[in-house]
Amino acid sequence: MGEFFMMRDRPQPEQPQPSPEEDNLAAKRSRFARRLTETLDQLKGRFSKMGDVAKLFSVSDEQVAEILARVREELPTTEALLLGKPQAGKSSIIRGITGVSAEIIGQGFRPHTQNTQRYAYPSEDLPLLVFTDTVGLGDTRRDTQELVAELLEDLNVETRRARILILTVKITDFATDTLQEIARQLRQNHPEIPCLLAITSLHDLYPSPVENHPDYPPVFDEVQRVAQALEASFAGSYDGVVWLDFTLEEDGFTPVFYGLEALRDAIAELLPEAEARAIHELLDEGTTRQLGDLYHDVARRYIIAFSVMAATLAAVPLPFATMPVLTTLQVSLVGMIGRLYGQTLSPSQAGGVVSAIAGGFLAQLVGRELIKFIPGLGSALAASWAAAYTWALGEGACVYFGDLMGGKTPDPEKIQVAMNEAFEAAKQRFRDHSNDP
């Protein structure tokens, strides 16, 4: 690099004079560069805040909003009302069905009423499951009738979504009078809503020296006796029953979600066909890919818009002049995709995601700027690289957030493969477009 700049001080041979055609071409390039530089100066001010980037694509935002609204109407969404005391296993049921970590679930709950909170999976924009959790059930300071009134008011609202009640009872808990009364009143007012009784924490009654789960269902005498007694105490208030033991990995039980298949089948049996199929798919290996495809289609609206803008800005024939703006653009794109997948990021956090998933593309980014030194070819080629890199970054972000949505650790190799494929395809696409007359 030093050799490149030292050459400027050496005596240079006399250069041939440009022809009139070359003068004309140079003038056109100068006018084009001036127009783009003026545009860049205007855009720099508008890009100073991350939120301003979205305003440049207000039409695209509206289109995405319309798409989201239409998709929400067609989604086979199920609302699951979880009734149970704290530590009865309600969050574990959500964790088992969705595969999402306890931390993400805890952060995802939002206040709904005075006595309930909600968690939408995979996100508020496109939910397949909406879990409503009763807060503080069993607290003697809470008014049971007030809670019942809130639940009934919620259930009285008409909706196209399927609904199910899940009564969650720990196998060692015999103080269930309040829960029984709530279940009875809800059943009396809404007999059309199916109810599943989930008896949890089975290992609390395993005989010594049993230290792991037996084949499902467990046949231990004490487990059978107590579980059947609980079933009898809730008789008339439920349509199905399932025995569960959902633990954490550090607890040492295998499998962690003991009875998960039984839960899936029990819920599916009580739901309409479309919603039942969605529950089954949520627990299948291909679910994350299917959900990712749905989100990916919406995210591509943003990817296209940002890639076109990146190509326009990169065409300015001034090395590194566009780097701050392009970086802001790409960070903003990742932030928007993150919000689509239910992950709210600050600009610095979005920048961290860009750094994490970009990998070897950072070298290509530098190369894209340096190639502008090549007369007549650099700017057009750089523009296609900028657009392709932005497109690839968007595709990589979809893979990254898609893994998080599925409760998985993002796979760097999968992200790099997706970015490489997207980069090559998009580079050709934008290069062909730049060569159009």
**Amino acid (1-letter code) at residue 64:** V
In the structure encoding, which two tokens stand for residue 25, read together?
């071409």
**pLDDT tens by residue, 79-134:** 999 999 999 999 999 988 887 777 767 777 888 888 889 998 867 776 888 999 98
Which among 422, 371, 413 is positioned nearest to 394, based on CA atoms?
A: 422
Which residues, including other chains, have CB under 8 Å from residue 296's CB and lie 6 or more apart?
A: 398, 402
Predicted local confidence at residue 41, as pLDDT: 44
Residues shown for the chain? 437
Find the helix or strand (DSSP H, E) in which 399 lies: helix 378-405
Predicted local confidence at residue 132, as pLDDT: 94
Q: Give the angle 93-96-98 at the CA atoms, nearest 5°.
A: 105
Which residues, including other chains, have CB under 8 Å from residue 92's CB and lie 6 or more apart?
A: 200, 244, 246, 247
Predicted local confidence at residue 170, as pLDDT: 97
- Half-sphere exposure of residue 35: CA atoms within 13 angstroms, side-chain side: 7
Tell me, rounded to whole angstroms, the distance of Cα 337 from its chain centroid.
8
DSSP-derived letter for residue 272 is -
Tell me, rounded to whole angstroms, the distance of Cα 351 from its chain centroid.
17
Phi-psi region of 87 (alpha: psi -120 to 50; beta: other; left: phi over 0): left
Predicted local confidence at residue 278, as pLDDT: 75
Predicted local confidence at residue 9, as pLDDT: 44
Q: What is the pTM of this model?
A: 0.61
Measured CA to CA, the distance from residue 276 to residue 265 in angstroms comes to 9
Q: Where are the alpha helices (DSSP H) in 119-235?
A: 144-155, 177-189, 221-233
Predicted local confidence at residue 403, as pLDDT: 83
**Amino acid (1-letter code) at residue 335:** G
Predicted local confidence at residue 62, as pLDDT: 59
Which among 91, 135, 80 is positioned nearest to 113, based on CA atoms?
A: 135
**pLDDT tens by residue, 26-83:** 554 454 344 434 433 443 343 344 344 333 333 344 555 665 676 677 778 899 999 9
Contact 116/270 with Cβ under 8 angstroms?
A: no
Q: Where are the alpha helices (DSSP H) in 47-126?
A: 50-56, 58-74, 90-98, 102-108
Rounded alpha-carbon distances, angstroms, from residue 375 to 298, 357, 361, 378: 39, 32, 24, 6
Measured CA to CA, the distance from residue 385 to residue 146 in angstroms comes to 61
Q: Which residue has the tokens 């990916």?
A: 296
Which among 97, 103, 104, 72 is positioned nearest to 82, based on CA atoms?
A: 97
- What 3-state class would DSSP assign to 46? helix
* Local mean pLDDT, 10-residue blocks, the chain (437 residues): 36 53 52 41 39 37 59 80 94 86 77 86 77 79 84 92 96 94 96 97 95 95 97 97 94 94 94 81 53 68 75 59 65 84 79 75 53 47 76 91 80 85 81 50
Contact 185/178 with Cβ under 8 angstroms?
A: no
